[in-house]
Each structure stands twice: as structure tokens, then as C-alpha cells.
Amino acid sequence: MGDAVELEAGGRTVRLSSPDKIFFPERGFTKLDLARYYQAVAPGILRALRNRPTTLERYPDGVTGENFFQKRAPKNMPDWIPTAHITFPSGRSADEMCPTEEAAVLWAAQFGTLTFHPWPVRRDDVDSPDELRIDLDPQPGTDYDDAVRAAHELRSVLDEFGGLRGWPKTSGGRGLHVFVPIEPRWTFTQVRRAAIAVGREMERRMPDHVTIKWWKEERGERIFLDYNQTARDRTIASAYSVRPRPHAPVSAPLRWEEVGEAHPQDFDLATMPARFAELGDVHADMDDHAFSLEPLLELARKDEHDHGLGDLPYPPEYPKMPGEPKRVQPSRARKPGSTTP
């Protein structure tokens, strides 16, 4: 595995053991390659993670080995990495790490972290999201190009409802994410309600191409706008995170003119450093903005008042929420007058 190496980052030294351990056999990328990648894109991933409670997706033996999500800050975490106390839907709570410097990212890489999953909040206010995150998820029979079509329509919807601006990125798979920086003055429930309103407007405009149906049996060959990614404790891979797939793709921030021109396979652990060296962080100005959700929340109120469109199902592990419809897939729901599903 090779002798341990020491990496310098912002005045700190991070020890990397077994630097030659293969993390991506298909490409031959090692643990040291992973750490060097995060050094190369450090300003970008820190912009995405800074002061956010962050779950670590760890693969200690590489992408072909066992993996787990680490929500609680490890006991061996250095005391110079701050934490935030967050509460899960179950009522349980935990202290999660909040990266604030490059050395924290490298420390996580030392323990096999491929993907960083930050909450859409900052550690000084963990109950008020400052990002509306839209996940455009291709369903069977659809692909990235279908997500691109939906993303361009989404851009128009955001602009029409309050002049909102989204920053797009590849998911690292077949989908697209669009993040909208918002004022941190709404609850998770309200932000989720705004995402539902966006999804319903998208369904009206692209009924054959976009759906917000929670149950897979109802989605068909359409792009699923996953509104539940805005629920408390649901996170989306950060920009610049390496994704756990054989070819080591990364979640790549894009400029809008690149949506449709670039493709997910263009961005991986080997190619992103050169792009970053040339262009820097193309989402660097994201934190300079904070939009209001009021136009989308007004759309949600109109949907409910005029069309009777209320809340939608939460994920199965969540407690029953006020106003939530029955959480049962349609094919298993009891029919009127029936005593069995």
C-alpha cells in the first residue's frame, strides 16, 4: 500500500495512510489520487460545503468494497473541525462535521470518503434552509438528454416566479441538480412545499416529460422531480464530489450554456482538475445571492385553493406529517367497499 504521506493544506498537515490503495480498479485511481483531486478543486468543494452539516459517504476499501453513510462526527475527528447539532425526523439528534477548510476535506478522504452530502443549512441556523435544491432524476426509459430538456424548462419556471436563478450541475450519474440560493427564513416544510409547487408547474408545462408522482408505478418514462430531496435530513451530493461508480465520475457544476453541450461522462476524477484550473469554480458567485420563496409559496397556496392540490407523501421512514395524504402505493390501496388491499 506504500508508506504514509503527509499533505499540506492551509497550514495544516494531514496524514494519508496507504496512499497506493486502489480505490477505482477500472481506472487505477488510488487513495492518493482521490486526495490530490480534492486538493485540486478545494476552493470549489469548500464553497459547496463550508459551514454545512455534512454526511460522509465512505468506501474505506474503495468503490468495490463495503460502504456506509456516516452522519455522526467520528470520535477521532480533529477538534479543529467544527460541528453542528442537527435533529432528524425521528427526533434523534447528532453532531455532524461542518467543513470549513481544505484540510477537513482531506481528512475525510483519508478515511475513504468519496462523496460529501451537505445539508442545505449553515451551522448557525440548522432549521432554516438557504438553498432550494431541485433533483431531476431520469426514470427507466429516459436519459440525461431528457433531464436537460426539463432543466431548461425549469430555468424558465424559476425566472417567472420571482426572478429566481438556479445553478445547474450534473449529478455524477444520469441526472441534473439545480440549486437556488434562498433567504434562510423558511422551514424545511415550507421549502419542500415550494419544491412541490415547482414540480406541479413543470408537470403542467411538460406533462409527457416530467412527473412528481412519488410512487414509481405511476411515473412512467418521465423525469421525476424529486420534491422529497428538500425534506429534513435528505441531502444531495455536493458539487465536485466524487461519485461511487467504476469510472470515478464527479458532480460537475455547469454554466447554463453548457447544459446540453456537456455530458456527465466528460467529468471525472482525472478531467475535472484541468477544467477547474482553467475556469475555476463556475458557481463561485452562488453565495452572493439569496432569493425569496414567496412567489413559489403563493403558487402553492393557489394550487391548493383553486385546484385542491395539497401535500404529497413523505419518504417511508418519516413520521406521518400534518396534511399528508395516505402513504400507500396506489396498487395496494383499498378500493371503496373493499376489505382487502
Q: Are 136 and 219 in contact (CB under 8 A)?
A: no
Low-confidence residues in the chain, pLDDT < 50: 339-341
- pLDDT on residue 337: 57
Number of domains the chain is built from: 2
Question: Is 139 part of a structural domain of the chain?
Answer: yes
Examine the domain organization and report whether 135 and 102 are in the same domain. Answer: no
pLDDT, tens digit (0-9, with 9 covering 90-100), for 124-139: 999 999 999 999 999 9
Q: List all residues 6 or more positions away from 280 whose beta carbon is below 8 Å from its beta carbon.
A: 43, 44
pLDDT, tens digit (0-9, with 9 covering 90-100), for 74-118: 999 999 999 999 999 999 999 999 999 999 999 999 999 999 999
CA distance 271 to 33: 12
- pLDDT on residue 334: 60
Its domain, for residue 135, covers 129-232+287-305
* Angle of helix 31-40 versus helix 272-279 axis, rounded to 10: 10
- pLDDT on residue 335: 60
- pLDDT on residue 273: 98
Question: Is 161 part of a structural domain of the chain?
Answer: yes
CA distance 225 to 300: 16
Q: Domain of 68: which CATH number?
A: 3.90.920.10
Q: List all residues 6 or more positions away from 48 whose beta carbon is below 8 Å from its beta carbon.
A: 116, 118, 238, 239, 240, 283
Q: Are 251 and 37 in contact (CB under 8 A)?
A: no
Question: Is 27 part of a structural domain of the chain?
Answer: yes
